[in-house]
Amino acid sequence: MEIHIIIQQIFVLFILALIGLVATKLNIIQRDIKTGITKIIFNITLPFLIITQISSLEVDKQILLSWGMVIAFAFLSIILFLQIGRLSKNLLKLPENKAPIHMLHTAFGNAVFLGFPILAAIFPNGEGLLYGIIYFLTQNTMMWTIGIFIFTRQKNSRKIDSLKNLLNPNTIAFLIGLTMLLLNIRIPGFMFETLQGLGKTTLYLAMLYIGAILADVNLRAIVKNKSTFILSLNKLIIGPFILMVIMHLILTHTPLALNMTAQTVIIMESAMPCMTLLVILARKYHKDDFYATQNLSISTLLSIITLPLIFYLSQIIL
């Protein structure tokens, strides 16, 4: 793998986001269209991307053995980032309407909208996306359990709703793709090409949406908010670097083994900018959704620089 691959992919994503930003400024992409884009991605294009990518893989014993390790390291990374977020929000003395957002945005990244397209480009054989999906499912589980608890601070509330949220078109698509992979079921050629093409539109729709989100942000107001930049530093650089060191020590000084593709995916997913969904959840739970939008915008812009850096460091340290 060469560093220029991810730099080129980030540049492509930047162009797509810029188009979405300009289209929003010109009022081509309006509020209802943005809502429609998210529904199309989550309910149509992303599920077909998952099914076609996973079902087309060749069953490999090493890949199967790596799944448990990916889940374990994904869990470790999210716990690590939660603690970093907890420490920094205490040091910054953030108010109650910002503190939970700061903590959760440090831990949970844009694994789908930005992570999947990058992994699909770096690892075109589909193995990287498979590990990325496993990371995402681990993150999703923790988001709808620990994450909702942090937002609400009520241990006995919303447990059923949280579990229901885990059952969505993407987890169903993962189970379908996994079943097809294990049973060696293949989609017929003409149908596969059609569904694969539909799935790949996820990249373009997702980046148009991110561009639309960025268009609504007042950059001058964000520059004055130091906590957003500290969050981005923790999320995009410090956290991933600490995770790299921990993974290297564990894999070097224990009998545990994990292939380089899986290691890279874990690091790259952990280094993704802030999760888009948290902006919506912040509004739902009466937190500062403007602060959440600031975090999303700045971390996404800075990731254009930081993601190639983290990728480069991962190839050296791991």
As a whole number, mean pLDDT of residues 28-43 equals 86
Token pair listed for 28: 């081509």
- What average pLDDT score do residues 259-264 get? 91
pLDDT, average across residues 235-259: 93
CA 314 vs CA 153, 301, 305: distances in Å: 36, 21, 15
The domains located in the chain, with CATH, are 3-317 (1.20.1530.20)
Q: What is the pTM of this model?
A: 0.78
In contact, 7 and 305? CB cutoff 8 Å: no
Around Cβ 40, how many Cβ atoms within 10 Å?
A: 15
Q: Which residues contact 89 (CB under 8 A, 6 or more apart)?
A: 98, 99, 102, 103
- What is the number of residues in the chain? 318
Whether the predicted pLDDT of 155 surpasses 50: no
Q: How confident is the model at residue 147 (pLDDT cuts 50, 70, 90)?
A: confident
Mean pLDDT across 96-123: 88
Mean pLDDT of 280-307: 83
Predicted confidence (pLDDT) at residue 242 exceeds the cutoff of 80: yes
What is the arithmetic mean of pLDDT over 146-175?
A: 68
Q: Are 234 and 83 contacting, i.e. CB atoms less than 8 angstroms apart?
A: no
* Lowest mean pLDDT across 134-138, 145-149, 194-198, 247-251: 145-149
- In angstroms, the CA 63 to CA 50 distance is 16
Residue 233 has pLDDT above 60, yes or no: yes
Tell which wins on pLDDT, 70 or 56. 70
Q: Report the chain's mean pLDDT, rounded to a whole number.
A: 84
pLDDT (tens digit per residue) in 195-216: 999 988 887 887 788 788 778 7
- Let me know how many helices (H) and strands (E) the chain has, helices first: 17, 0
* Nearest-angstrom CA–CA distance, 107 and 121: 24
* pLDDT at site 93: 92
The pLDDT value given to residue 85: 95
d(CA 259, CA 63): 9
Q: What is the pLDDT of residue 192?
A: 92
Phi, psi of 81 (to 5 degrees): -70, -35
Handedness of CA 130, 134, 135, 140 (dihedral sign): positive
Name the band, by pLDDT with cuts 50, 70 and 90, for residue 26.
Answer: very high
What is the structure's pLDDT at 38?
A: 81
pLDDT of residue 229 exceeding 60, the answer is: yes
Give CA separation, 231 vs 24, 207, 221, 222, 273, in Å. 27, 22, 16, 13, 10
Quick one: what percent of the chain has pLDDT higher than 90?
A: 35
For residue 46, what are the contacts with CB-CB under 8 A and spacing of at least 6?
A: 112, 116, 169, 170, 173, 199, 202
- How many Å apart are CA 48 and CA 44, to the nearest integer? 7
pLDDT for 289 equals: 78
Cα–Cα distance, 103 to 85 (Å, whole number): 4
